[in-house]
């Protein structure tokens, strides 16, 4: 079985999970604990960042490289078109989504978690011990603001990201106005990338992530409650209903809650 080293709330991990589900591939999720888990991941793969896909004795890092690998090794239900023009457009949109929605979505989410301790706690996986949830919820907002400056997330940077995301969602809504998918009549990597990377703006309404049911279908109000973007999120949730497998039990089967990485 394929193994996906991931973070449950990583948009890039979600992009790969959506691709795996679209292709109908069985896989096991392995949750990498930030810090010490990344050290073990580096020992195994030479890569500290998730997602990393293990296929037999091979490790593939980076969500784009994983997508290309899966389309080559598991060609059923292809996600990268053969037609040159559609192929080029698909790869262009996928790369844009990585650099735009993926990066700016994190900045917008940071603003939300900085302002609302209940929202901070609700974003933790359901398997997180209560004592750790209390510690996270108790982190002062002022301290998070200082930490934001430390990683380049100043208020000006965050506001710029939000303004840019608004423009992105407007453009995507226009592209989907008269087409079922971003590049035509069939779903491609472009659709799966955009859908998976958008989870931090508004969570899918179904049971797809190991997060409390109370925040399903919710997100950053500036996006999730804006009727102008409703067509985009309706499209995104329809795509999830079509292709994303819902969570089942906490076993190691496909679609389950993640297993923590083992530290030797």
Q: CATH 1.20.1050.10: which residues of the chain? A: 84-243
Q: CATH 3.40.30.10: which residues of the chain? A: 2-73
Inter-residue contact 77 to 83 (CB < 8 Å): no
Inter-residue contact 27 to 1 (CB < 8 Å): yes
What local confidence, expressed as pLDDT, does residue 157 receive?
86
pLDDT average, residue stretch 54-67:
96
Instruction: Please check the confidence at residue 74 and state whether its pLDDT lies above 50.
Output: yes
> CATH fold of 84-243, please?
Glutathione S-transferase Yfyf (Class Pi); Chain A, domain 2 (1.20.1050)
Q: Where are the extended beta strands (E) located within the chain? A: 2-6, 27-31, 52-55, 58-61, 259-260
Backbone dihedral region for residue 46 (phi beyond 0: left; psi -120 to 50: alpha; all else: beta): left
Instruction: Please check the confidence at residue 227 and state whether its pLDDT lies above 80.
Output: yes
Higher pLDDT pick, 196 / 46:
196
* CA 45 to centroid of chain Cα atoms: 21
At 190-219, the pLDDT tens digits run 999 999 999 999 999 999 998 888 888 988
What local confidence, expressed as pLDDT, does residue 133 receive?
44
DSSP line for 171-223: HHHHHTTT-SBTTBSS--HHHHHHHHHGGGTB--SSS-SSS-GGGTT-B-HHH
SS3 assignment, position 248: coil
What's this model's pTM, rounded to 2 decimal places? 0.84
The arrangement of secondary structure in 2-73, i.e. its CATH architecture, is 3-Layer(aba) Sandwich (3.40)
Instruction: Please check the confidence at residue 64 and state whether its pLDDT lies above 80.
Output: yes
At 133-189, the pLDDT tens digits run 443 344 444 433 433 333 457 888 889 999 999 999 999 999 999 999 999 999 999
Higher pLDDT pick, 139 / 222:
222
What integer best gives the mean pLDDT of the chain? 83
């Amino acid at each position: 079985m394929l193994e996906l080293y991931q973070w449950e709330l990583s948009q890039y991990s979600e992009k790969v999970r959506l691709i795996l589900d679209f292709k109908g591939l069985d896989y096991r999720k392995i949750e990498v604990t930030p810090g010490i888990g990344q050290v073990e991941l580096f020992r195994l793969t030479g890569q500290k960042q998730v997602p990393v896909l293990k296929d037999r004795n091979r490790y593939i890092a980076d969500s784009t490289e994983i997508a290309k690998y899966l389309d080559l090794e598991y060609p059923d239900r292809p996600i990268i078109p053969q037609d040159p023009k559609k192929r080029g457009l698909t790869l262009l949109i996928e790369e844009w989504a990585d650099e735009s929605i993926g990066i700016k979505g994190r900045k917008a989410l940071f603003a939300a978690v900085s302002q609302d301790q209940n929202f901070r706690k609700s974003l933790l996986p359901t398997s997180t011990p209560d004592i750790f949830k209390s510690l996270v919820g108790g982190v002062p907002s002022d301290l998070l603001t200082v930490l934001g400056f430390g990683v380049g997330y100043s208020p000006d940077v965050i506001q710029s990201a939000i303004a840019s995301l608004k423009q992105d969602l407007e453009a995507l809504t226009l592209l989907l106005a008269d087409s079922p998918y971003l590049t035509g009549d069939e779903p491609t990597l472009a659709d799966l990338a955009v859908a998976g990377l958008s989870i931090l703006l508004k969570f899918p309404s179904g049971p797809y992530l190991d997060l409390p049911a109370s925040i399903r279908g919710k997100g950053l109000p500036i996006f999730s409650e804006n009727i102008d973007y409703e067509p985009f999120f309706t499209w995104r949730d329809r795509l999830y209903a079509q292709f994303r497998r819902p969570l089942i039990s906490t076993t190691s089967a496909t679609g389950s809650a993640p297993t923590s990485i083992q530290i030797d």
